[in-house]
Amino acid sequence: MNKIVKLSHRPVNSIFSSYAFWQLFVFILLSCLLACSSQTHTDEKEAVSKDTSSSLTQSTSPDTLQIDLVALKERGQLQSTETVTIPYDPVFLKSKTFKAIPLQTILNTFSSVRHLDASQTQVIFECEDGYSPSMPLQQLIQTKVYLATQDTEAPKGVEWIPIKKNGHETKIAPFYIVYTEADPKDNSYKWPYNLVRIRLVPVSSELTVLFPKDERMVKGYNLFHTNCFTCHSINGIGGKMGPELNYPKNVTEYWQPEHLKAFIKNPSSYRNDCKMPTLTNISDTDISEIIQYIRYMKDFKTLAKR
């Protein structure tokens, strides 16, 4: 018994007195301190991050800026300053009143955003469900645009109530982009709800990857951009609500042409409870142009890191 106790004490004593032990101890202590300080450092920068500086979000372009609205709110930096009334809200389909902040006020708080050339910048809205519409920064800031933070009709203590859209319960929270003066029928203005992030990218980065070199494809590209891009990506660029259409396999490589056309025209005739809506504003020739563009892109596969 005695022997065992002695034996078990000896190595412990020798570890504590050894130089190597203290070296290891100091090393671990320093690593902890370093880890903690770099943690707070990234926390501070989280709300607006240049993509390349964050390991979580990589981008093809170092000029990309990302505004994390949820992080701003958690830090109490998104206090609504105004109550705005939208004469006809295209999402709620009636006149609506919201608590809101002028988007310009939010953008102005970031010096990196203030120094951007608006005419060369595209705004990409990123919604929680992967929906990701975009529009030119210039157009956005030339109109009265607000970040709505609360529905004034919601019960006390609640910011938003989900609404029914196309039979599905739809979450508007945490943020919704609204305009007091834009024509709700003008679909170049985007009204994203369930919004979590705003990304600002140079126009050229998106164009260089997706813009066709063959000018016969430009019409299809434009149609794709207005009608499909909000939900679908090509080469990893675009919305994430629907599947990627080019990488690694282009949809035209595994869908029969007539089915592809019929599916795009009426997705619910192929899949029950299909999450792709039936697009009413595009003609058969538009769909053909879009498919032609998508097929053309099969020879230009690359994967943009986002």
- Of 203, 241, 262, 303, the one binding ligand HEC (CB under 6 A) is 241
Applying CB under 6 A, the span of 87-95, 197-205, 223-231, 297-305 interacting with ligand HEC comes to: 223-231
Q: Which is nearer to ligand HEC, 282 or 303 (CB)?
A: 282
**Ramachandran sector of residue 166 (left: φ over 0; alpha: ψ -120 to 50; beta: rest):** left
Q: Is 242 in the site for ligand HEC (CB under 6 A)?
A: yes
**Strand, helix or coil for residue 176:** strand
Residues 262-281 touching ligand HEC, rule: CB under 6 A, are: 263-264, 271, 274-277, 279
- Of 66, 150, 205, 227, the one binding ligand HEC (CB under 6 A) is 227
Q: Cα–Cα distance between 124 and 134 in angstroms, integer?
A: 4
Cβ-contact 217, 225 below 8 angstroms: no
Least distance (Å) from ligand HEC to the CB of residue 272? 9
Cβ-contact 71, 46 below 8 angstroms: yes
Q: Which is nearer to ligand HEC, 40 or 272 (CB)?
A: 272
CB atoms within 10 A of CB 49: 19
Least distance (Å) from ligand HEC to the CB of residue 90? 14
Q: Cα–Cα distance between 26 and 15 in angstroms, integer?
A: 14
Counting residues that bind ligand HEC (by CB under 6 A) gives 20
Maximum separation of any 2 CA atoms in the chain, in Å: 93
Closest CA to 136 of 117, 119, 112: 119
Q: Which is nearer to ligand HEC, 72 or 260 (CB)?
A: 260
Residues 129-158 touching ligand HEC, rule: CB under 6 A, are: none
Cβ-contact 151, 89 below 8 angstroms: no
Q: Which is nearer to ligand HEC, 107 or 228 (CB)?
A: 228
Least distance (Å) from ligand HEC to the CB of residue 129? 9
Q: Is 228 in the site for ligand HEC (CB under 6 A)?
A: yes
Residues 246-265 touching ligand HEC, rule: CB under 6 A, are: 251, 260, 263-264
Closest CA to 133 of 221, 243, 226: 226
What is the CB-side half-sphere exposure of residue 67 using CA atoms within 13 A? 25
Least distance (Å) from ligand HEC to the CB of residue 45? 32
Least distance (Å) from ligand HEC to the CB of residue 126? 14
Q: Which is nearer to ligand HEC, 101 or 260 (CB)?
A: 260
Least distance (Å) from ligand HEC to the CB of residue 291? 7
The DSSP letter of residue 175 is B
Residues paired with residue 102 on neighbouring β-strands, in sequence order = 146
Please classify residue 234 by burial: count the beta carbons closer than 10 Å to its beta carbon, then call 0-12 exposed, 13-18 middle and 19+ buried: buried
Cβ-contact 125, 119 below 8 angstroms: no
Q: Is 15 in the site for ligand HEC (CB under 6 A)?
A: no
Q: Is 210 in the site for ligand HEC (CB under 6 A)?
A: no
Binding site for ligand HEC (CB under 6 A): 227-228, 230-232, 241-243, 251, 260, 263-264, 271, 274-277, 279, 282, 290
